[in-house]
């Protein structure tokens, strides 16, 4: 059976039916989004970088800490995926991670993921004091304390090769649950 295709070769020539077909295809494609995310996370094992553990192990450790701290499933999945953009976008990884999560998580969780890099600058002693304190611009933001907690309790401390970390498959049902949600319209 041949797959139905749009009628155009330039979007300007598309019909309403073409764009409805694209939407239906996107919805069908999104059904295996959780599997694609898990596969991409596994790629982080290949790039160990300069740390004592792989980027995957860092993400797993961050999520494990969140779970042990009693965080909600949404926060645990955000902790797991907060650095998923590291390898493809090392200079804008937080934004990439945010965009993957944004349609499926609350505004608070999304904001924290998007800004976690700025909050982590506090620990980077190679930066000027001004850069290290960039997070202070958000002191009055309603999600400031959530970002502070995320970074201080879960993220910045998750580079320990001896930490008892849950494996990736432990988090699969949570990832599947979050990405099976109907996307938020307003995020």
Count Cβ atoms within 10 A of the Cβ of residue 27 and give its class: 0-12 exposed, 13-18 middle, 19 or more buried: exposed
What confidence tens digit (pLDDT) does each residue in 40-91 have? 999 888 866 788 899 999 999 999 999 999 999 999 999 999 999 988 888 8
Place of tokens 């999520």: 63
* Alpha-carbon torsion (116, 117, 118, 120), positive or negative: positive
Superfamily of domain 14-179: Hypothetical protein af1432 (1.10.3210.10)
Domain residues of the chain, as ranges?
A: 14-179
Q: Do 95 and 81 touch, CB atoms closer than 8 A?
A: no
For the cut 80, the answer to whether the pLDDT of residue 186 exceeds it is no
């Amino acid at each position: 059976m041949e797959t139905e295709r749009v009628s155009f070769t330039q979007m300007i020539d598309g019909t309403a039916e073409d764009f409805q077909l694209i939407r239906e295809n996107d919805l069908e494609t999104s059904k295996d989004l959780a599997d694609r995310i898990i596969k991409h996370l596994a790629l982080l094992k290949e790039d160990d970088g300069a740390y004592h553990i792989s980027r995957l192990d860092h993400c797993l450790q961050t999520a494990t800490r969140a779970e042990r701290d009693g965080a909600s499933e949404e926060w645990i999945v955000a902790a797991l995926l907060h650095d998923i953009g590291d390898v493809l976008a090392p200079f804008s990884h937080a934004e990439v991670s945010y965009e993957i999560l944004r349609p499926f998580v609350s505004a608070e969780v999304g904001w924290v993921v998007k800004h976690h890099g700025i909050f982590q600058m506090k620990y980077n002693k190679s930066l000027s004091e001004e850069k290290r304190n960039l997070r202070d611009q958000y002191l009055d933001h309603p999600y400031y304390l959530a970002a502070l907690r995320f970074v201080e309790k879960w993220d910045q401390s998750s580079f320990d090769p001896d930490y008892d970390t849950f494996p990736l498959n432990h988090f699969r049902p949570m990832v599947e649950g979050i990405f099976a949600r109907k996307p938020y319209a307003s995020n």
